[in-house]
Amino acid sequence: MKNFRKYLPIFILIFSIGVGIFFRFYQLGKSPVGVYVDEASIGYNAYSILKTGRDEYGQFMPIMFRSFSTFQSPIYTYITVPFIALLGLSSYSIRLPSAIFGVLTILLLYLLAKKLSSSETFALIAALFLSLSPWHIQFSRTVYETNIALFFLLLGALCFYHALKKPWLYILSSLSFAISFIAYRAEILIVPVLLLMLTFRFGKTIASNVKSHMLPIVLSCVLGLIIIVPTVLILPTPGFQARSSTMNIFVPSLQEPWGIKVDAGNLSWILNNRQLLSVKEFLSLYTSYLSPRYLFSLGDAGPRKPFPDLGTFFVWQFPFYLAGLYFLLKEKNKKDLRYFVFTLLLVSPIPAALTRDPYSTLRSLPLVIPQVLLISFGLTKILEMTWPLFNKQKYLILTILAVYSTTRMFISIFYHNDYYTSIYWNYGWQQALEDVPNLDPDLPIVVDNSHGDSYIEILFFLNYDPATYQHDNFEVPLSEYYTNLTRNTTKHIGRFTVKGFQWGIDTDHTEQYIIADNIAIGLVQIHEHNLTIVDEINFPSGGVALRILKTNPKK
Amino acid sequence: MKKLLFWVSAILIFIFWPVSFFLANNNAWSQIFVGTQTIFTPDPLAIDIQSTKISLIPNRNLARIYENKTTIPLDKFKSNVFVSLDLNNYFFSLHPQEIIGGLNLTKYPYLAIIPFLVGLYFFSENKLRKWILCTFIVAVLSLAFINRQDKFDILLYFPVSAICLHGLRKIYTSSVIFYFFSSVFIPISTIEFLRIIFAK
């Protein structure tokens, strides 16, 4: 019995990590079905770097990857390179880094929670809740830079707290923060604010140990700056600004701010003041990230973010969230935990709230950490306060709730998710391209690109030779890689030509194959232009994802 | 002067919801109860969706546990409870996830969220805390049984306003903070009030 109690914490930690591994690795690469264009872009560019040292546009080791002129952060792409070298280019190999870092984040959170609170129970509960978090699982199963950025953010924080007693860990902390800074755009705001808080909180401690801390701190600052300087230098370029300016609610754009009143009459100049309305919209978006309705009921309304019927947390965790908020605010001897949690809690929603997307779990992923910590702290305090009343009953109820929610999450992820969301994950390209060897090899194939950048799906699933692709396609001069946002919408990939589809020219005059979705070419047009349906790839929900058609030009 | 600013701020906090409610239902008082349904009213669309979900679960027993006759009303109940607990419901007309077909009223000026949060923080010092808590909980749970609760959630006007007032009193105790707060709150809330009155 004594041995059991001694090893119970390790057992619970291993169990938490085991559950985390299961939900992140089970059917990895197969679910969600399809590979979204951003995932394919990261994967193919990593493959291109592996084969040629250049991205798909021919740029040597880019600081940021151009990728449809949206300029993705580079860290995930470079981390994926060795995985592709080992396993080949596939949906599994590109999602594997995310799953691995997702599991490691669970361990990191355990160590960080233990450091901040000196409570084993609290740390174990936090690890378990993160391993079961639908929010974190979602981004650990797919190719999103934010998950990797979160890992390095936590690593940087953990190393900082340990560096207060072992100064040389400042270097690892600095490197981690720097990588997090360039790994995802939200961290460009979060990392400096977190560092500011840590400096403010521990400034006196560091100053009182100047002799032992000075050199490591100076070295860490220098190394950190070396890493972030290339990114900082391209911050003002049109390339970096492109995505921010189209998404930022404070930038005048074609989209009206929320709340415009159409019939404001003579008072329009004040009632429809753009700046006031933008501030109001920002505040509404900001508070939504802290609202129980989104956390425990609605979740993310975006097409690829939520698992069906799941919020970002489970409903039964709501009382613990409130308790955690209350107790952490009132607790006097948990200063480190309080500073860390409330800094992340209040700062993490800001980058997300600056964009128009309502409650974006992608852009606010760092928020999962303080909210998991709050829920865990609330539960820990309630367990402590009610000790030893009804212990067996309490743990039994909690276990039943956890098992019930976990099973529901399993059903949502592995039975429902693909049915309801395959349409948003560009499903169908792998199946369509598997049909290509059965087609007449002498005929060209035209691919419609009116609904997204389908060329990247072809490159990805064919594992098309990057050197050949770079040779056959031109986008912009490499000297204008970060400044010229022009896009060449026609792509040449062997016998494939990806372009804007033209009725008559592409359907009636040339014998060729056409690949398009149901919106680009419907059954009426197929009949009108005498096209032959070679194959149809259907979504799991039954609608047509893609069609392979053959033209029958009149001779 | 300070007292005057306090009362102007308080009036601005209290006046929004009744005025919005009156204007939204002005031509339809006789219809206010028409079409009101509970969460137990049969919902053919929800049943259809549930049938699809059941068909996707290979294990029949598992499907019965998670998708059964109680699932639909329970989900609606849960959703309604969290609508009542959503701060955006009171200060931002439920934006960014307004309820389609709902009233989505402007219930309070959005800057009133500050005295509300202050009032929540100092809630334990509020003399009416038991009354506020009981009223709030009973109202939330009662409203959760109604499908379109936005017509009736004015029940929550009193507890939420009481918290805002308590928070405003707390802010009032510090002259510097209060003058700064009211210098921003009063003009912006006045503009918001004019938006309710003069524009649709």
Which one has a higher pLDDT value, A262 or B41?
A: B41
Instruction: For chain A, say whether B52 makes contact (Cβ under 8 Å).
Output: yes
Per-residue model confidence (pLDDT) at position B33:
66
H-only helix segments in A355-439? 368-385, 391-411, 417-421, 429-435
A464: tokens are 């098309």
Contact criterion met (CB < 8 Å) for A415 and B57: yes
B137 Cβ contact list (under 8 Å, min separation 6): none
Q: What is the pLDDT of residues B171-197, one digit of tens each?
A: 999 889 999 999 999 999 999 998 888
Per-residue model confidence (pLDDT) at position A340:
95
What's the CA gap between A466 and A53, in Å, rounded? Answer: 10
Query: Across chain A, what does the average pLDDT equal?
Result: 91
A411 contacts on B by Cβ (under 8 Å): 57, 62, 66
Q: Output the 3-class SS for A308-374.
A: CCCCCCCHHHHHHHHHHHHHHHHCCCCHHHHHHHHHHHHHCHHHHHCECCCCCCCCCHHHHHHHHHH
Per-residue model confidence (pLDDT) at position B53:
93
Rounded to 5°, the CA angle B191-B194-B197 comes to: 160
Where does the pLDDT of residue A451 fall: very low under 50, low under 70, confident under 90, or very high at 90 and above? confident
Per-residue model confidence (pLDDT) at position A404:
94
Given a cut of 90, whether residue A356 has pLDDT beyond it is no
The answer to whether residues B97 and A298 touch, using CB atoms and an 8 Å cutoff, is yes
* Shortest CA gap B91–chain A (Å): 8
Identity of residue A135 = W
Mean pLDDT, residues A539-544 taken together: 92
What's the CA gap between A488 and A114, in Å, rounded? Answer: 52
β-strands A445-448, A496-499 pairing: parallel
Q: What is the DSSP letter of B43?
A: -
Nearest to B56 among A263, A296, A419 (CB): A419
B67: tokens are 């998708």
Cis preceding linkage at A32, omega within 30: yes
Mean pLDDT, residues A24-29 taken together: 95
Whole-Å CA distances, B174 to B9, B164, B180, B186, B188: 15, 16, 10, 17, 21
Per-residue model confidence (pLDDT) at position B200:
58
Q: What sign has the CA pseudo-torsion A439, A445, A446, A452?
A: positive
Chain A residues near any Cβ of chain B (below 8 Å): 258-259, 261-265, 267, 270-271, 273, 276, 280-281, 283-285, 287-288, 290-294, 296-298, 301, 308-309, 315, 329, 358-359, 407-408, 411, 415-416, 419
Per-residue model confidence (pLDDT) at position B196:
86
Question: From B84, which residue of chain A is nearest by alpha-carbon distance?
Answer: A293
Contact criterion met (CB < 8 Å) for A287 and B91: yes
Q: What is the pLDDT of residues B123-168, one digit of tens each?
A: 989 888 999 999 999 999 999 999 888 888 889 999 999 999 999 9
Q: What is the pLDDT of residues A159-199, one digit of tens each?
A: 999 999 999 999 999 999 999 999 999 999 999 999 999 99
β-strands A544-550, A532-538 pairing: antiparallel
Per-residue model confidence (pLDDT) at position A141:
96
Preferred mutation among A410, A411, A413 to probe B, highest tally of B CBs within 10 A: A411
- The interface residues of chain B toward chain A in range 163-192, judged by CB-CB distance below 8 A, are 188, 191
Per-residue model confidence (pLDDT) at position A113:
97
B53 Cβ contact list (under 8 Å, min separation 6): A308, A416, B63, B67
The answer to whether residues A133 and A316 touch, using CB atoms and an 8 Å cutoff, is no
Per-residue model confidence (pLDDT) at position A507:
85
Flag the least confident range among A133-137, A140-144, A210-214, B155-159. A210-214
Number of H helices, E strands in chain B: 9, 0
What's the CA gap between A284 and B191, in Å, rounded? Answer: 17
CB half-sphere exposure, A252, CA atoms < 13 A: 3
Per-residue model confidence (pLDDT) at position A349:
95
* Shortest CA gap B36–chain A (Å): 23
Contact criterion met (CB < 8 Å) for A258 and B96: yes
Question: From A406, which residue of chain B is nearest by alpha-carbon distance?
Answer: B66
Per-residue model confidence (pLDDT) at position B35:
67
Per-residue model confidence (pLDDT) at position B32:
63
Mean pLDDT, residues A268-279 taken together: 84
Given a cut of 90, whether residue A248 has pLDDT beyond it is no
Contact criterion met (CB < 8 Å) for A416 and B86: no
Mean pLDDT, residues A190-218 taken together: 91
Q: What is the pLDDT of residues A340-351, one digit of tens each?
A: 999 999 999 999
Question: From B83, which residue of chain A is nearest by alpha-carbon distance?
Answer: A293
Terminal Cα distance for chain A, rounded: 88
Q: What is the pLDDT of residues A491-526, one digit of tens each?
A: 999 999 999 888 888 888 889 999 999 888 889 989
Nearest to A284 among B57, B75, B96 (CB): B96
A163: tokens are 């560096």
Mean pLDDT, residues A358-364 taken together: 91
Q: What is the pLDDT of residues B43-74, one digit of tens each?
A: 999 999 999 999 999 999 999 999 998 999 99
Mean pLDDT, residues B65-93 taken together: 93
Given a cut of 70, whether residue A253 has pLDDT beyond it is no
B86 contacts on A by Cβ (under 8 Å): 291-294
Mean pLDDT, residues A393-397 taken together: 87
Per-residue model confidence (pLDDT) at position B30:
60
Whole-Å CA distances, A306 to A38, A241, A337: 17, 28, 29
Flag the least confident range among A251-255, A333-337, A449-453, B63-67. A251-255
Which one has a higher pLDDT value, A78 or A452?
A: A78
β-strands A445-448, A513-516 pairing: parallel
Name the range with the highest mean pLDDT among A145-154, A240-249, A486-495, B92-101. A145-154
Contact criterion met (CB < 8 Å) for B87 and A291: yes
B192 Cβ contact list (under 8 Å, min separation 6): B16, B106, B109, B110
What's the CA gap between B90 and B175, in Å, rounded? Answer: 27
The answer to whether residues A307 and A138 touch, using CB atoms and an 8 Å cutoff, is yes
C-alpha of A537 from chain center: 28
Question: From A265, which residue of chain B is nearest by alpha-carbon distance?
Answer: B199
Whole-Å CA distances, B21 to A258, A358, B111: 21, 26, 19
Instruction: For chain A, say whether B7 makes contact (Cβ under 8 Å).
Output: no
